[in-house]
Amino acid sequence: MNKKRRNKLIVLFSVIAAIILAHYIGEISRRKPEYPGIVEAEQVKLTPGLKGTIEWVAVREGDKVLKGELIATLALEGPGSSGNAAVEIVSPVDGVVVSAPFKAGDGLSPDQTLFCISSPEKRWVRLDLDESARDKVKPGTELTIKAPEVSRDFKGEVFETRDWKEQTSGGGETKGIRAKVRVDDPERILQPGMTVMARLP
């Protein structure tokens, strides 16, 4: 191969490489940013309000409950009860028990949480974002929510944002915004605790 032909090949390869690189850079620039998030739901905490003892418990963590369902009975004492009055505890919402730390015979103080129940009726996706996303994600911003666990995409809209900060292990501080996204999911496919990705349209 003579020198002139070799130089031509080098130029050709350089042009091809430049075209491929430009295409790759263009794809990256057109790609919309994605943000990791987690599905959350409204949680209802039940406290006794008075000192007492648990007599009977019907549910455990992970159990589904219906609004009005009897889930425990207590023997309460102190102002507002006549002696050791038996009190029935019912679920105020349809949902899932996410915390039930007590068993029959356990004593209670007035402010202890007996049960924590997650209500699937009110769900959202929480996004913890760095400062670079502040101008991109605001109330009213529409997002696509990608849920790898169920291989589905959902439409979402930001309805709340607020500042957040946390301490790093090195003693520094990380700042950003926390956004809540309302998701169009009438079938209730997204469940609390699922991890998702949110992408700008």
To the question of pTM greater than 0.95 for the whole model, the response is no
Where are the extended beta strands (E) located within 29-133?
Answer: 34-46, 51-57, 64-65, 70-77, 85-90, 95-99, 107-108, 115-130
Q: What is the mean pLDDT of the chain?
A: 82
115 touches 46 (CB < 8 A): yes
Phi, psi (rounded to 5 degrees) for 137: -115, 110
Helices and strands in the chain, H and E counts: 1, 12
pLDDT digits (tens, 9 = 90+) for 159-189: 999 988 877 777 777 788 899 999 999 888 8
Residue 81: both structure tokens together: 């009860």
In which residue ranges of the chain is pLDDT below 50? 23-30
